[in-house]
């Protein structure tokens, strides 16, 4: 029994094993029933991080709409999640296909959810992604696909959910972005889009405060899931393996390490948090970049002068300094 009474007479949950055991996949650290009768839309909710978010919300009693382009995969994910819902729970999960690149489809999604559930408490903008390519080899169409998905898709979902429901009733939005704090060489399109969503998050937090809407973002480090890896085709396994040493944790994250942060931001525990971006990356964004710059002599020369002369001396192989 983890329930104890605090010194202030409040009932608190204290689990002595929390500092010894990792969070179990498919098991929230939050109180079951926390989100009973709430309604959430999770884009990209059928795979990877989105699936973990949907599963944790369901466990907490939330009704969850998972949405993305591939209807069959969504349906299979919903079926799998339904097996985990205890009979006593009021929660349900439904799959609704929607391409967030299409304004009409997003409008359709929002109106279907309101028709079926009569409310939308939470929006998690998780659907998105990119391919790996240096800018010089990126086509205009490829750049646009990534911007339309990650930036414009997020804008469209936020705007539709706000105008159709949250403006009058309040709610919480969480935008999933990425570790683009040092730029994103090799995936510049997504870096630009996610950086823009970071800024959009702050603008919306202010514009929509008047409606009681909180808007925050989560910036994951490198998070392993089979679907994320498969997106990069034959490059995938190596890309994820190569990333391990660049994490201060010396391991990759998993989707369940993102979902608990999202549930926290959606919960009343975060009632005074808006316009924030939470980095969930074990410090990866503060550490070294994966982008290698080979030795070269292409850089403009430094101005001549005594410092430059001293520097030349220092760099001479026989330097005593």
Ligand X SMILES: NC(=O)C1=CN([C@@H]2O[C@H](COP(=O)(O)OP(=O)(O)OC[C@H]3O[C@@H](n4cnc5c(N)ncnc54)[C@H](OP(=O)(O)O)[C@@H]3O)[C@@H](O)[C@H]2O)C=CC1
Q: Which residues bind ligand LGGBLMCM (CB under 6 A)?
A: 129-131, 133, 139, 141-142, 145-146, 149, 178, 222, 228, 231, 239-240, 243
Nearer to ligand LGGBLMCM, 33 or 129 (CB): 129
Cβ(201)–Cβ(101) under 8 Å?
no
What residue 61 binds from ligand LGGBLMCM, ligand X, none (CB within 5 to 8 A, per partner kind)?
none
Nearest Cα to Cα of residue 256 among 85, 22, 81: 22
Question: Which residue number places its CB atom closest to ligand X?
Answer: 48
What residue 264 binds from ligand LGGBLMCM, ligand X, none (CB within 5 to 8 A, per partner kind)?
none
Could you tell me whether strands 3-5 and 11-13 are parallel, antiparallel, or unpaired per DSSP bridges? antiparallel
**Most distant pair of Cα atoms in the chain: their distance:** 79
CB of 226 to ligand LGGBLMCM, least distance (A): 11
What residue 131 binds from ligand LGGBLMCM, ligand X, none (CB within 5 to 8 A, per partner kind)?
ligand LGGBLMCM
**Token reading at 310:** 């001293």
Q: What's 95's DSSP letter?
A: E
Cβ(284)–Cβ(248) under 8 Å?
yes
CB of 101 to ligand X, least distance (A): 5
Nearer to ligand X, 171 or 220 (CB): 220
Nearer to ligand X, 61 or 222 (CB): 222
Nearest Cα to Cα of residue 41 among 31, 32, 53, 25: 53
For the chain, report the end-to-end CA distance as a whole number of angstroms.
Answer: 65
What residue 49 binds from ligand LGGBLMCM, ligand X, none (CB within 5 to 8 A, per partner kind)?
ligand X
CB of 90 to ligand X, least distance (A): 26
Q: Summarize as ranges the residues that interact with ligand X (CB under 6 A).
A: 43-44, 46-50, 68-70, 73, 99-101, 126-129, 149, 153, 176, 178, 220, 222-223, 225, 227-228, 231
Nearer to ligand LGGBLMCM, 90 or 134 (CB): 134
Task: For the chain, list the strands marked E by DSSP.
Answer: 3-5, 11-13, 39-43, 63-67, 93-95, 122-125, 171-176, 213-220, 277-280
Q: What's 213's DSSP letter?
A: E
What residue 70 binds from ligand X, ligand LGGBLMCM, none (CB within 5 to 8 A, per partner kind)?
ligand X
User: Residues of 270-305 as b/e, b for ≥16 C-beta within 10 angstroms?
Assistant: beeebeebbbbbbebbebeeeeeeeeeeeeeeeeee
CB of 130 to ligand LGGBLMCM, least distance (A): 5
Nearer to ligand X, 167 or 182 (CB): 182
What residue 195 binds from ligand LGGBLMCM, ligand X, none (CB within 5 to 8 A, per partner kind)?
none
Q: What's 300's DSSP letter?
A: P
Cβ(260)–Cβ(23) under 8 Å?
yes
What residue 99 binds from ligand X, ligand LGGBLMCM, none (CB within 5 to 8 A, per partner kind)?
ligand X
């Amino acid at each position: 029994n983890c329930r104890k009474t605090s010194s202030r007479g409040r009932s608190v949950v204290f689990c002595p094993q929390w500092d010894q055991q990792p969070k179990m996949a498919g098991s929230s650290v939050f109180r079951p029933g926390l989100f009973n009768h709430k309604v959430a839309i999770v884009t990209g909710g059928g795979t990877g991080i989105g699936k973990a978010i949907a599963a944790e919300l369901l466990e907490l009693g939330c009704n969850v709409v998972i949405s993305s382009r591939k209807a069959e995969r969504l349906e299979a994910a919903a079926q799998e999640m339904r097996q985990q819902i205890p009979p006593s729970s009021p929660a349900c999960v439904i799959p609704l296909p929607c391409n967030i690149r299409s304004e009409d489809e997003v409008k359709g999604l929002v109106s279907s959810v309101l028709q079926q559930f009569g409310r939308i408490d939470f929006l998690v903008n998780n659907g998105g992604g990119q391919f790996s390519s240096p800018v010089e080899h990126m086509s205009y169409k490829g750049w646009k696909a990534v911007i339309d998905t990650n930036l414009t898709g997020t804008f469209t979902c936020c705007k539709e959910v706000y105008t159709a429901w949250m403006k009058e009733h309040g709610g919480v939005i969480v935008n999933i972005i990425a570790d683009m704090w040092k730029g994103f060489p090799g995936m510049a399109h997504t870096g630009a889009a996610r950086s823009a969503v970071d800024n959009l998050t702050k603008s919306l937090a202010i514009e929509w405060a008047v409606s009681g809407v909180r808007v925050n973002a989560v910036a994951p480090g490198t998070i392993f899931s089979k679907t994320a890896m498969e997106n990069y085709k034959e490059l995938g396994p190596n890309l994820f393996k190569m990333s391990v040493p660049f994490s201060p944790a010396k391991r990759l994250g998993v989707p369940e390490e993102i979902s608990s942060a999202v549930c926290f931001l959606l919960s009343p525990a975060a009632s005074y948090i808006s316009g924030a971006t939470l980095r969930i990356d074990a410090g990866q964004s503060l550490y070294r970049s994966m982008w290698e710059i080979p030795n070269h002599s292409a850089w403009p020369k430094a101005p001549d002068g005594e410092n430059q002369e001293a520097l030349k001396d220092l760099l001479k192989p026989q330097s005593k300094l």
